[in-house]
Amino acid sequence: MTKAPETEKETQRIEAFSDGVFAIVVTLLIFNVKLPDPAAVTANGLLAELAKSWTIYLAFAASFFFVLVMWINHHRLFTIIRRSDNNLMLLNGLLLFGVTVVPFPTSIVAAYLLDPQQQAAVFIYNGWFFLVAIMFQLLWRYAAHNNRLFSHAVDPAITRHIARSYNIGLVLYLAAVLIDIISPPVSLAISIGLAVFFAIPNRQVQQLMTTSDTTA
């Protein structure tokens, strides 16, 4: 009983630190969006020049959405994970490493989306999200192993569902990376579809979680 608040506090600081990292990444993305060249603005008008940079806005908006979805999933994981240890801090740190890198592939895909280097740019972009999916998988597996870091027995049906959606995600991100060899636009469409998939929670899991909370 005396240990409970101690443990709670530890997870809270991990979440606060992670929230900080997610919030900063999401906010700094806009700083890759630069003002158009003043001479071109004078010649063609501001709105026309801004409109030319649509690939940059697209890459910015997509990455914002991707990082938001990562945050929502991190948030979901930590409603289940309640205990903390040193390995969790390192694996969570690895995931945050993956998150902080996102602005770099974003600026690559923004710069080379309509360029002959499109395929390489999409490879780096989707390849990085595949690596982030692996980092999520590692964090989840470590925490879920024998319910190691769950505060109370979680309904095994929830664990199964989350594990399955993470496995599906991993396979489809890999597919997105491979499909880039044939068609970069299709590859991008798959990874955006995957973000939508992870943005919407499984209805069954949500019901199970609510039930398990009430009976806890």
Contact residues for a copy of itself, defined by CB under 8 A: 2-3, 6, 9-10, 13, 15-31, 33, 35, 38, 41-42, 45-47, 50, 61, 64-65, 68, 71-72, 75, 79, 86, 89-90, 93, 96-97, 100-101, 103-104, 107-108, 111-112, 116-117, 120-121, 123-124, 199-201, 206, 213-214, 216
Burial 4-31 (b: 16+ CB within 10 A, else e): eeeeeebbeebbeebeebbeebbeebee
**Min dist. Cβ of residue 149 to a copy of itself (A):** 15
Of 79 and 204, the one with the shorter C-beta distance to a copy of itself is 79
Length of the chain: 216
Q: What does R_g of the chain's alpha carbons equal in angstroms?
A: 20
**Min dist. Cβ of residue 115 to a copy of itself (A):** 8
**Min dist. Cβ of residue 202 to a copy of itself (A):** 10
**Min dist. Cβ of residue 176 to a copy of itself (A):** 18
Of 101 and 171, the one with the shorter C-beta distance to a copy of itself is 101
Q: Torsions phi, psi of 150, nearest 5?
A: -90, 140
> How far apart (Å, rounded) are the C-alpha atoms in residues 155 and 204?
12
Of 38 and 193, the one with the shorter C-beta distance to a copy of itself is 38
Burial 102-129 (b: 16+ CB within 10 A, else e): bbebbbbbbebbeeeebbebbbbbbbbb
> How far apart (Å, rounded) are the C-alpha atoms in residues 151 and 162?
17
Of 33 and 172, the one with the shorter C-beta distance to a copy of itself is 33
DSSP track, 126-186: HHHHHHHHHHHHHHHHHHHGGGTTBSS---HHHHHHHHHHHHHHHHHHHHHHHHTTT-HHH
Of 86 and 146, the one with the shorter C-beta distance to a copy of itself is 86
Could you tell me which residues are beta bridge partners of residue 94? none
**Min dist. Cβ of residue 109 to a copy of itself (A):** 11
Of 11 and 137, the one with the shorter C-beta distance to a copy of itself is 11
**Min dist. Cβ of residue 113 to a copy of itself (A):** 12
